[in-house]
Structure 1
């Protein structure tokens, strides 16, 4: 199967259809997601191989729904709870899977940790020594992924150890462009106090894919960021994640910051639709994305 990214394309993450890990979601639930995304008009979906499903079967299954595999994710907490050799072995397996599916890059994500789930988007419990260890482990993982044929892209997210602007910049500058690229998520950057357009412009030559997510203004304000509520409580208010185009992310500015050489996936991500069905949310996002992304996808 040959689907190596050669030019920008619109894709979707099935995250809105699941709670928890996509790879552990029942196949029937993912089948509904794939059927819906195909019906709406998407032609590519973020790679999340279900646990226990042979890779050939997964590829065949995507083909049934007319969906190509888009850039996926490799995740670990990098907080010392998982031994580094185990992380690196998972990275080798991920590289083998993704390259077999025709992909040439992957998002490298620092998964949520308890202190930051409790106080999200503010860099809670930042310990320089612990952060330095996390950066070292991210670098080691990035090198293994690269050795397996994938370009790793740092994918910061709220509640992980690479969350704030200082942490994102420090990780990218410490490891350097030869080790890791940049795969931003617009909503996570915005919630953590960053301007996605500025971050994309700063590391434009390293951006290999982008998650298109959006946030409402309520908790994107610095004075209200995580005050008194944990991640799940805030998300449960329905006033964190917005359908792309309905929140405060300035997508046109972010897209304008991408270099002419950008050839990555632009992946619509909807964490938890707050005002409509999941199908309607993805449909609305697709209808929004088609004209907004046209200059980049042309």
Structure 2
């Protein structure tokens, strides 16, 4: 398993304001310097990175700049993260347009994986049909990714209709997309990350690692919270997973590079054990 680090920690995640009135232009973005992020990720000893669709889209008209940045740091763009509501029929074509654009850009820069989050939780509650709508959209995204030579996986996320283990099962039984376990989101949703990895071993296509403090809720560098990473890594090995482990820390009060180094040192101890 190779180690990568998500660029989100450099500035945290924001959405483009144009998306308020133009769904097709609503991207995630890390609100910081990707140049600094890639250099720091390399310095912390990681071989790969994951970026948001909006950060990659910023290089669409100057692709050589991103290629040069990655090459000079000896860091691969492993994956691109995107997401949408996926439950509103009128909005879906524009959402899929944006996902297709993200997949095209991911392939342009040599990424292997398209990671997708979403499934809006309506103000009036979640009808069971929303799981059918989300599943059907994710199957279409799987096709989009495969046309670009990418592997697609779904990332359960707090604030969506896939938080808890029961909600995850409602989705997984309806769709063929791969599974991207995010250790902290799974735990915050009431699940045991290692147990959920063992439940869906054949569906795992990508992995996000971050630690968790339950009260008050906070995402932390690896080893700084309560999650059982030795068991999580055992579960991944049992599943035969041998691809990238992406550390994804949403925010950090100090230097993002410091958090990346801390998680790398913790992982090195576990992987050498």
Q: What TM-score, normalized by structure 2, do the two folds share?
A: 0.83
Report the alpha carbon displacement of residue 191 of structure 1 after superposing the two structures with TM.
Answer: 0.4
- Bigger drift between 187-196 and 160-169 goes to 160-169
For residues 3 and 110 of structure 2, the distance between their equivalents in structure 1, rounded to whole angstroms, comes to 17
For residues 271 and 149 of structure 2, the distance between their equivalents in structure 1, rounded to whole angstroms, comes to 28
Over the aligned positions, Cα root-mean-square deviation in angstroms equals: 2.5
Residue 11 of structure 1: aligned partner = 4
Report the alpha carbon displacement of residue 114 of structure 1 after superposing the two structures with TM.
Answer: 7.5
SS of the residue corresponding to residue 197 of structure 1 reads helix
> Where does the alignment leave 5 or more consecutive residues of structure 2 unmatched?
16-27
Select 1:215's aligned residue among 206, 212, 217. Answer: 212
Select 2:265's aligned residue among 254, 279, 287. Answer: 287
For residues 114 and 130 of structure 1, the distance between their equivalents in structure 2, rounded to whole angstroms, comes to 9
- Is the 8 Å Cα contact of residues 200 and 207 (structure 1) preserved in structure 2? yes
Residue 51 of structure 1: aligned partner = 57
- Is the 8 Å Cα contact of residues 112 and 158 (structure 1) preserved in structure 2? no
> Where does the alignment leave 5 or more consecutive residues of structure 1 unmatched?
1-7, 116-123, 220-238
For residues 30 and 8 of structure 2, the distance between their equivalents in structure 1, rounded to whole angstroms, comes to 10
Report the alpha carbon displacement of residue 172 of structure 1 after superposing the two structures with TM.
Answer: 1.2
Report the alpha carbon displacement of residue 112 of structure 1 after superposing the two structures with TM.
Answer: 6.5
In the alignment, structure 1 residue 269 sits paired with structure 2 residue 262: no
- Is the 8 Å Cα contact of residues 11 and 46 (structure 1) preserved in structure 2? yes
- Is the 8 Å Cα contact of residues 213 and 269 (structure 1) preserved in structure 2? yes
Alignment of 1:105-184 (within 5 A): 105-110=113-118, 125-175=125-175, 179-184=176-181
Alignment of 1:77-116 (within 5 A): 77-80=85-88, 83-110=91-118
For residues 87 and 15 of structure 1, the distance between their equivalents in structure 2, rounded to whole angstroms, comes to 22
Select 1:31's aligned residue among 32, 35, 58. Answer: 35
Name the CA shift for 1:196/1:63 in 2 (closer, same or farther; >3 Å): same
Q: What TM-score, normalized by structure 1, do the two folds share?
A: 0.77
- Bigger drift between 149-158 and 34-43 goes to 34-43
Report the alpha carbon displacement of residue 103 of structure 1 after superposing the two structures with TM.
Answer: 3.0
SS of the residue corresponding to residue 130 of structure 1 reads helix
- Is the 8 Å Cα contact of residues 208 and 263 (structure 1) preserved in structure 2? no
Report the alpha carbon displacement of residue 81 of structure 1 after superposing the two structures with TM.
Answer: 7.8
Structure showing the higher strand proportion among its residues: 2
SS of the residue corresponding to residue 126 of structure 1 reads coil
Residue 190 of structure 1: aligned partner = 187
Report the alpha carbon displacement of residue 19 of structure 1 after superposing the two structures with TM.
Answer: 2.9
In the alignment, structure 1 residue 240 sits paired with structure 2 residue 195: no
For residues 8 and 121 of structure 2, the distance between their equivalents in structure 1, rounded to whole angstroms, comes to 19
